[in-house]
Amino acid sequence: MKILVPVKRVIDYNVKPRVKADGSGVDLANVKMSMNPFDEIAVEEAIRIKEAGNAEEIVAVSIGPAKAQETLRTALAMGADRAILVETDDEVEPLAVAKILKAIAEEEEPGLVMLGKQAIDDDSNQTGQMLAALMGRPQGTFANTVEVAGDSVTVKREVDGGLETVKLTLPAIVTTDLRLNEPRYASLPNIMKAKKKPLDTKSPADYGVDTAPRLKTTNVSEPPVRQAGEKVEDVDALVAKIKAMGIV
């Protein structure tokens, strides 16, 4: 079985995003970028499936600027076998991403497409579901546990009431949640080996996908500063304060 793992280049989760002075978007100049954490979990899970003998090849895919090669090299250093970069400087929306991934999946014919449930830059949580709909494949989203056996995969999903278990017939789409695993660090020898692993560069036009945006961002602003709390002497004072605020 082949596993396709889409990965996205985003602002590193340890960095506080800055809004541009004109409010047109987030400032990416001189900002540390890295692999989307949910996608990193997907790469790790794909590697574990391969190490268990349930997959033969892992293909990492990224859609973004030329610098996204760095993100793909990270996936290769972790254990992916080869990579595909669909190079574009446009901001590609989830539907266009799903269409490109559909075209790649039709070429590669993976038994499993495993991707993060969402990217931490836009928090859309749409690509996996859209891809499953476009391809007509079963989906297991918000995966907490993934077990491949024969021609099926069992996924424990994180839902509001706890965990839900679904069994999907392969080929299938799985999106990963935070508690699925702890991604490994790439060793120095593997980082060096990753430089020699194949990385193909394509464009959205190669897959016949129009990446023109359907949405327009009108304004981006910082969230309001949280006001300091106020201490009260006892419960009675707390109740009186809440009533005075009109909450009850």
3-state secondary structure of 99: helix
Across-strand partners of 63? Answer: 86
Range of the domain at 196: 2-244
pLDDT of residue 7: 97
pLDDT of residue 246: 74
Instruction: Report the CATH number that the domain containing residue 199 is assigned in CATH.
Output: 3.40.50.620
pLDDT of residue 64: 94
pLDDT of residue 207: 95
| pTM for this predicted structure | 0.86
Give average pLDDT by consecutive 10-residue segment, the chain, 248 residues.
96 89 85 94 97 96 95 96 95 94 96 95 93 96 94 94 94 95 92 94 95 88 83 88 78
How many distinct structural domains can be found in the chain?
1
pLDDT of residue 169: 96
pLDDT of residue 248: 60
